[in-house]
A = this chain, B = another copy of it.
């Protein structure tokens, strides 16, 4: 039981040629129903399993799609689940690799994938990634790539991303509607795409509501919780302290929350807080925290869908799909009850 049956075995068994077996197995039209049936029967009997490696080697594509993500946190892993969903549906196998936010890892992964002939790449680039030659190699081989979550500049490829500006806008606008007037933003690192986009939304909302922008209310800091904690602590010390904070990630919101509590301020009365991503834990905190929710699953599905389209029709247009987030309002920012 160690050796796997091949089409040769079943050909021998029936005294037909391997070509006939090959055709019968893929239900080609030029095989009689009789032989087709007997071939199928013998295949069943011998527990024949096609050797995908041999097929892939022959036909030069593998029906597997490479997926590279910086990590598998809540957001990314549900996006991957979305990719998985439609890929499986369409008969593709998904190969997931994590770059761990490391450029080196990402390059290694792309190289391995290229060598094993994945049919293309769906990628959310690492934060370290500044050059894109490793990705361009896919294009040189005419393999489709689609970027999601984080967009890839310099590369002409479909993108599936969140409308980050809109996310920043609805979060800020909501705070304004709740009567907050001196709203700070804990933005991410400067020059980072999503960070700036979310901040643009913030600025737009302020402008639309005729609120002036106070530079002191715009804080750039790392995504992590501790930075946000210290930044908030500083922010709350100032004489004209903000009465609301919008953070562009939930982790940062947590940091801000801790600083707020330490300062003895109450949410939402003294100060409002809105995060980004809507991680499940937010509804467990006291107070529960408002957040902007991404359609993660849909983003994943969309990315895979577009990928498969491009795989089939050589020159489908290169689009960038922008999905809208929704605001989940909870206690931390709900000051007005109607």
Q: Which residues of A approach B to under 8 Å, CB–CB?
A: 1-2, 4, 49-54, 56-57, 62, 64, 72-73, 77, 80-81, 84, 88, 93-98, 100, 105, 108, 111-112, 114-117, 140-142, 254, 280-281, 284-286
Contact = CB atoms under 8 A, between A and B. Distances in A.
B51 A115 contact: yes
A98 B112 contact: no
A212 to B, nearest CB: 34
A57 B49 contact: no
Given A1-B140, A2-B142, A56-B116, 6 more contacts: A53-B62, A53-B116, A54-B57, A72-B77, A95-B95, A281-B284
Contacts of A94: 97
Contacts of A112: 52, 93
Given A93-B116, A142-B2, A284-B285, A53 B57 contact: yes
Nearest to A55: B115
Contacts of A2: 140-142
Contacts of A88: 105, 108
A115 B72 contact: no
Q: How many copies does the complex hold?
A: 2
Given A115-B51, A284-B254, A284-B285, A80 B72 contact: yes
Contacts of A141: 2, 4
8 contacts: A49-B115, A50-B115, A51-B115, A72-B72, A73-B77, A95-B96, A96-B96, A284-B285
Contacts of A95: 95-96
A64 B284 contact: no
A49 B110 CA distance: 12
A57 to B, nearest CB: 5
Nearest to A96: B96
Given A57-B57, A72-B77, A281-B284, A52 B115 contact: yes
Complex A-B, nearest 8 residue pairs according to Cβ-Cβ distance, in ascending order: A281-B281, A72-B77, A52-B115, A52-B116, A96-B96, A57-B57, A53-B57, A1-B140
A84 B98 contact: yes
Contacts of A72: 72, 77, 80-81
Contacts of A56: 53, 116
B98 A64 contact: no
Contacts of A98: 81, 84
Contacts of A100: 81
Nearest to A116: B52
Nearest to A50: B115
A140 to B, nearest CB: 5
